[in-house]
Structures are given as structure tokens and as C-alpha cells.
Amino acid sequence: MFGDLLTTLWNNLPAALLLSRAVIVPLSFTVHEVAHALVGTLLGDPTPRESGRLTLNPLRHVESLGVITGVLIGVGWSRPTPIRPHRMRLCDPVGGLLTVLAGPLSNLGLALAGQAAFDALALQPTYPWSGWPVPADFLTVLVRFNLTLALLNALPLFPLDGYALIRFALPLRAAAWWERASGWTTAVLGVALFLMLMLPPTLLVMVLGPPVRWGIKALLGW
């Protein structure tokens, strides 16, 4: 009886989805933050190296709560990589913009790499749920999570990349006002994350599914 109960729980647990995310989430966050660090360093800013962020060690980039929410609901966050555009060889706006853009672009690159792996291995996207994950499950989660991460970072909310892009693009006085507004943008982001944690999974899919599906359709044709 006990064995039957464990079998029933295993078959109903989204193990394939959770295990796939447990691998893909920290990998994606690490690539995202290393992209920021690498571009900033190449442009002459020693801050990422000084802060120990020019490394592929996930422990230097991930936050435990951000990884947990990423695994559970498919949306999370990592530790922002510090940059100082005034230390770069380029002027502040250009260097800052390029460094910030590197993060979301790296996630788009991972999504495209996942699609290339599908084609090379002659696999099809799946809907990971129960059982042990197979390669197609990992690739599906890789593509979907990285597109979600890129779309999420387009939002103009602190500390997302969209907020930083606007700050670097604005003239000095407007940028100072935008920095003062960071508090309420963070509040909006916090409320949104809280609601996502509270929403039933089916309703969460209804909210997040359309933009992610649009991105996948536009970029990959799924």
C-alpha cells in the first residue's frame, strides 16, 4: 500500500518540470550575469572582476529565493552584477547600455541554442510534467525559461535590466528622477511576484503563457 501511495505521488508530481528547472534556472542566471560582467570588463570596467562576478561559478550569481521561485513558478531572479560605466573606456550611456543589454541577449542566445539542439538531435518540444526528465524536457525548459527571462527583463522595474536601460539612456536630471522612482517600481515588481506565488498554477499559466508563447512563436516558430 505504501509503495502504491509513493507511486501515485510520483506520477502526479511535476517531477520532470521541477528537475529540469532545477538545472536550467541556475545555469540561465549564471550565463545572464556573466554576460553583464564580461561585457563590462571588456569595456574597461574592473568592477565585475573586483566583485568576483567574472566567473562561471553559479554560487557567485544566484540567490536562493530567486532560484526557488524560478524552479516553482518559472520566474525568478539572480544577484545583479555591479557595473560602473564611468570606469569604462566608452562614454557612460553607451558603455552602460551595452553592458545591460548583454544579459537579456545572452538569454535569447541560450533559447536559440536550445532550438538548434532540437534540430540537431531531431527532437520535438515537450510539456514536461511527471517522471524523470528526458533531453527534450531539458531543452524545452531551457528555451521557455530563457525567453521568459529575456521578456521579464524588458520591464522598466528596478532592479530589472529594463529599468537600467532607461536610466542609462536618460539625461542626467531625468536619470536622477528615475533613480528616485526605483522604490515604487520595486514595489510593483514585488506585488506582481507575490500574486504569481499566490495564483493557482492554471491561472498562472493563463497570465504568463500568452507573452511567452508569442515570443516562442515569433523567434522559433513553435
Q: Of 33, 50, 63, 179, which is the active-site residue?
A: 33
What amino acid occupies position 121?
L
How many other C-beta atoms can be found within 10 angstroms of the C-beta atom of residue 111?
24
Is 33 one of the catalytic residues? yes
Between CA 76 and CA 82 the distance in angstroms is 19
Instruction: Name which of 114, 185, 191 is nearest 149 in CA terms.
Output: 114
Cβ burial 30-61 (10 Å sphere, 16+ → b, else e) = bbbbbbbbbbbbebebebbeeeebbeeebebb
Active site residues: 33
